[in-house]
Amino acid sequence: MLPKGFFASGTHCGIKRFKKDLALIYSKSGCKAAGVFTKNKLKAAPLVISKLTLKKGAPIRAVIVNSGNANCCTGRYGIRDAKRMINAVSSLMGLKFGNILVSSTGIIGKRLQIGLIEAAVPKLTRGLSAKGLVSAANALLTTDRKVKIATEKFKVGRKEIIITGIAKGAGMVHPNMATMLSFIMTDARIDKDALTSALKEACRVSFNAISIDGDMSPNDTVLILANGLAGNGTIKRGTKEYRAFVKALKNVSFKLAKNIVEDGEGATKFVTVYVENAVTERDAEKVARMIANSCLVKTSIHGENPNWGRVASSVGSSGAAGIKPNKFEIYLDGVLLFKRGKFTTPGRDKISKVYKRKNVEITVNLNAGRKNAVIWTCDLSKRYVEINSHYMT
Amino acid sequence: MLPKGFFASGTHCGIKRFKKDLALIYSKSGCKAAGVFTKNKLKAAPLVISKLTLKKGAPIRAVIVNSGNANCCTGRYGIRDAKRMINAVSSLMGLKFGNILVSSTGIIGKRLQIGLIEAAVPKLTRGLSAKGLVSAANALLTTDRKVKIATEKFKVGRKEIIITGIAKGAGMVHPNMATMLSFIMTDARIDKDALTSALKEACRVSFNAISIDGDMSPNDTVLILANGLAGNGTIKRGTKEYRAFVKALKNVSFKLAKNIVEDGEGATKFVTVYVENAVTERDAEKVARMIANSCLVKTSIHGENPNWGRVASSVGSSGAAGIKPNKFEIYLDGVLLFKRGKFTTPGRDKISKVYKRKNVEITVNLNAGRKNAVIWTCDLSKRYVEINSHYMT
């Protein structure tokens, strides 16, 4: 469900053979906008352009996105073609270059089929509709099996505010550097500073808490647009309205992030890694990522093999502060398996239940401090190897 | 081939069902010794004891090693049982506790079957022989398919010096935290300081240059014993004899490390990752490890799919200094595929040869400085997932 004043559209321009591959998001009034981008030093051309546009700070009216080609590692053509995508929308809709963001995902190293995109933009703009969300969300997908949409509503005074996001998968989950993209829209009136910090907060516990394989794609992008049409009093940092906004935004981005993990290539399990009582939050995260990125842990979950030793080894090699072998505890699906430096021998009955469900939990209590972290990941299957052995750049 | 004055033995004590699982190395005169151990904060009991013994500095006469059980995460029994292993050898051979080192590998979290070991030590010591190397090397193995032995000879003046090592596999290569162990013997006369620094130098370009999965086992150990029976003048640091010693030691440890990678679970390819012209050696290593640990790169090699984009993405996300997308170059099996930020379109003919052989090379020229690094790894296969899904702790 689109927030007030937003319209969306998705179409097939021919980059992909049969599926939709071009999306447009449009707001009838100017939006405050913020973005979180990949930290990879290799950056795709559209990302470079969008970052610059956001920095200039003009109100954003539209986002154009293609799938099937990442417009990355495309040399001097890259920037040129990304600009042409924006210009195609700009001339047709009477917007300025600085009002439009651009994003791409798909194969890298191949010049963008810009002619196909330009030819399809008229159809794309004609298709804009308040009911166009599913169509746009579909046009983002690459190897995803399912469309990813999440919506939250909450009230500021008497005004109902809607936050809606769409996303596609990435990384370890959706490889070939297949870019995690998410576009979030809201009709909230909020100042730019508050919007930027809310997005950062939300990403930290959602998109940035998904275990990719340590790699970041050169295209990873999360954008949020806020057009203010809900008519609420402007949300500012540090207020209770701000906290309500952050909470709703976290819910949207968490749902999308969870969908991405669940839709992972070859994934059969959804894994939550909790690390508790670390010295600092960064230490907690270090341990959680070490566990979530371990091929050994991931394969043992796939095999429903309650291998606490691999978890213990990941904890020990994480490099986090305050780790003492005799102090930390490991629970798999709630069963305490490691304490005081050794196996707890909890009995066959309990052990036999570990890793059997689709939702799996690993909890490590470091007993070293008071900070926690959570990371989500999926298992590592033969199907994953199969898909990724043969997916060509 | 054992160096002068060394004897070895391997036997079956019953930890494993059928295969040899207990090894002994013995020198007829006292050895200078040095060790390199895991950095995992979780440390197996025998490793803790051996580290302490080395620190005390008495001459080393023997090393006892079992496979099949890592004596790790075994609580208060761990240290006690590791000491009992030493005592069994000490009482039978008239050596002091401080003359003997101990090491274990295998399943973790299960108490060591110390009774079986004690019962077998008499047979083990009786079996000691100058021809016992293969037998001892066999008794180290866990999931390894092949025995790993390497020997080098060189001269100091008129005296011939022998360096011989045995090893077993580890990590991503041999998982279930299956411990990389190596024991190296030499009849060189060398001072302790020189021996220690030579071992560190050699490990850096061999055992520490293998890409494990970022994990380190709590048992990882490399030990070197030098009994001085070659009769050469004592080798000291900074001399040309020292450099000859280091060179030979590097050859031995490199061969063993290479054998470990080649014998990786499910491995079908041997991969060498060269990173050239980085700002610092550490930066070069960072990039090389990022590539070598990437599941996406490893699966693409497995599928013989020349996916330079995954390599480019790993370079970009490595966090190394001086990386500029327009400056670095990627060669796969000698074919330049990425330069000036884009695909080089080298033609089907050349591309079709990439990743086809058993030995595969990835070379990244960062054009950022003058430092290089090399890392060795293997591909990621369905067989790897299969083995590791079902290997129980």
* List of domains in chain B: 6-262 (3.60.70.12), 270-390 (3.10.20.340)
Structure tokens at B31: 């050895």
What is the per-residue pLDDT across B246-301, written as a single tens digit (0 to 9) for each? 999 999 999 999 998 888 777 899 999 999 999 999 999 999 998 998 888 998 99
Least CB–CB distance from B295: residue in A108, A213, A342 = A213
- Cβ atoms < 10 Å from Cβ of A96: 11
Residue-level pLDDT at B208? 87
> Does the pLDDT of residue A369 top 90, yes or no?
yes
| Predicted ipTM of the assembly | 0.85
Torsion A31-A34-A38-A44 (CA) sign: positive
> Does the pLDDT of residue A132 top 90, yes or no?
yes
Of A142 and A74, the structure prediction assigns the larger pLDDT to A74
Q: What DSSP state is assigned to residue A280? A: S
Q: Is the pTM of this model over 0.90?
A: no
- For residue B230, which phi and psi values (nearest 5 degrees)? -70, -20
Cα(A227)–Cα(A169) distance, integer angstroms: 26
Contact A314, A291 (CB under 8 A): yes
State the virtual CA torsion across A40, A43, A49, A51 in degrees, nearest 10.
0
* Cβ contacts of B65 within 8 Å, gap of 6 or more: B22, B23, B24, B25, B102, B103, B104, B105, B136, B139, B140, B181, B183
Least CB–CB distance from B42: residue in A307, A325, A380 = A325
H helix runs in B72-113, sequence order: 75-93
For chain A, say whether B134 makes contact (Cβ under 8 Å).
no
**pLDDT interval class at B52 (50, 70, 90):** very high
**pLDDT interval class at B200 (50, 70, 90):** very high
Least CB–CB distance from A390: residue in B305, B313, B392 = B305
Overall size of chain B counted in residues: 393
Q: Which amino acid is at B213?
A: D
Structure tokens at A307: 């291998």
Q: Which of B40, B110, B337 to mutate to probe the A interface, most A CBs <10 Å?
A: B40
For chain A, say whether B74 makes contact (Cβ under 8 Å).
yes
Residue-level pLDDT at B226? 98
**pLDDT interval class at A172 (50, 70, 90):** very low
Catalytic residue check, B105: no
Residue-level pLDDT at A393? 41
Interface of A with B in 164-223 (CB under 8 A): 172, 175-177, 213-218
Residue A335: closest CA among A370, A360, A317: A360
Nearest-Cα residue of chain B relative to residue A294: B213
Looking at every residue in chain A, the average pLDDT score rounds to 92
Residue B214: closest CA among B272, B274, B141, B294: B294
Cα(A208)–Cα(A389) distance, integer angstroms: 26
Residue-level pLDDT at A60? 98
Number of H helices, E strands in chain A: 11, 14
Contact B156, B242 (CB under 8 A): no
Of A176 and B184, the structure prediction assigns the larger pLDDT to B184
Torsion A279-A282-A288-A289 (CA) sign: negative
> Which residues make beta-bridge pairs with A246?
none
Calculate mean pLDDT across residues B96-117: 94
**pLDDT interval class at A133 (50, 70, 90):** very high
Q: What DSSP state is assigned to residue A180? A: -
Residue-level pLDDT at A391? 56
In angstroms, what separates the C-alpha of B72 from chain A's closest C-alpha? 8
* Cβ contacts of B375 within 8 Å, gap of 6 or more: B209, B210, B211, B272, B273, B275, B285, B288, B289, B291, B292
- For chain B, the distance separating the N- and C-terminal CA atoms, rounded to the nearest angstrom, is 35
**pLDDT interval class at A267 (50, 70, 90):** confident
What is the per-residue pLDDT across A318-361, written as a single tens digit (0 to 9) for each? 999 999 999 999 999 999 999 999 999 899 999 999 999 999 99
Catalytic residue among B11, B125, B179, B272: B179
Cα(A150)–Cα(A145) distance, integer angstroms: 16
In angstroms, what separates the C-alpha of B293 from chain A's closest C-alpha? 9
In angstroms, what separates the C-alpha of A205 from chain B's closest C-alpha? 21
Cα(A246)–Cα(B20) distance, integer angstroms: 61
